[in-house]
Amino acid sequence: MVSMKYRCACITHKGYRCKKAFSFVCNKTKCCFIHAKAYLNYVLTIQKAYKGYHCRKYVKLLAKLPCDIQGRILFYIRESLYNARRNKCIQALLTRKFITFFGFPIFGFPKNLDAHFANVFLSNYRSSILTMNKAQFNEHVLYIAHLYKLYTKYITISNVDCNYSLYVISTIVKKDIEECLYYYHHSEEPYLYSNEELLVLHKNVFGLQKNIGVYNFEYEDRFC
């Protein structure tokens, strides 16, 4: 039983005084949480008016400042919005690179990329790299290395399905590239490499293996 000193002062529909303890004082009247809702519209109106006054006061103060300081203040206020927009654009660009690399425009980008991704799509990938000439193959190695480097840098904001897929296929991609490198090295024209070309290709393949290793380490550290 709540003592009279701490009871709500409002009257119920039956004509009795409310028996709940008061939580607010509205218009000099002690009110419990339930009866305080009657003043909700007034409270919201007062809050809106005060927030408007508060914002206008700072806007007038901001207008008196030099333009360069105004720009810095506005950038600080909107920084989270700018970062969200930037991250969204980066994620879209990375996803587009991923789609282009695996030829999804032909097959259609799947809604869910799971463990079956490697078996379904890498058969097409393997057949495509075997039809490349040595210049195309070298460019392809550089593209994959750059793709893994980008996804390592932006792994926290990139598409989670793309991250998982790159992690799943990393070992197979390295194996396929090494097999193609061996095939091109022992083939005749037009795949025969000069010593200079072979040195450049080995350097690019080493860079690819390094980027894949760094990406796998980052992925396992964050998601596994």
Q: Do 73 and 90 have their domain in common? A: no
Report the first-to-last Cα separation within the chain, whole angstroms. Answer: 55
Domains in the chain, number: 3
How many angstroms separate the CA atoms of 108 and 106, rounded?
Answer: 6
If you count DSSP H runs as helices and E runs as strands, how many of each does the chain have, helices first? 9, 2
Q: Looking at the structure, do residues 115 and 184 belong to the same domain, yes or no? A: yes
State whether 184 and 98 are in the same domain. Answer: yes
Domain termination residue (choose one: 21, 52, 77): 77
Write out pLDDT tens, residues 171-206.
878 887 877 777 666 655 555 677 787 788 888 888
Average pLDDT of the residues in 82-97:
91
Residue 108 has pLDDT above 50, yes or no: no
Cβ burial 118-145 (10 Å sphere, 16+ → b, else e) = beebbeebeeebeeeebeebbebbeebb
Same domain (yes/no): 122, 67: no
The answer to whether residues 58 and 115 belong to one domain is no
Q: What percent of the chain has pLDDT over 70?
A: 83
Report the pLDDT value the prediction gives residue 106, as an integer from 0 to 100.
Answer: 39
Asked if 106 and 217 sit in the same domain, the reply is yes
Whether residue 71 is found in the same domain as residue 114: no
Say if residue 139 is in the same domain as residue 193.
yes
Say whether 31 sits in a helix, a strand or coil.
Answer: strand
Which helix (H) or strand (E) is 97 found in, with range? helix 79-102
Same domain? 61 vs 21: no
- Residue 46 structural domain: 42-77
> Within this chain, do residues 61 and 147 fall inside the same structural domain, yes or no?
no
Do 107 and 138 fall into the same domain? yes
The pLDDT, as a whole number, for residue 148 is 94
The verdict on 125 and 136 lying in the same domain is yes
Q: Is 84 exposed, middle or buried (0-12, 13-18, 19+ CB in 10 A)?
A: exposed
The amino acid that residue 100 corresponds to is: T
pLDDT category, 71, cuts 50, 70, 90? confident
114-153 per-position pLDDT tens digit: 555 556 666 667 677 777 777 888 888 899 999 999 999 9
The pTM (predicted TM-score) of the whole model is 0.66
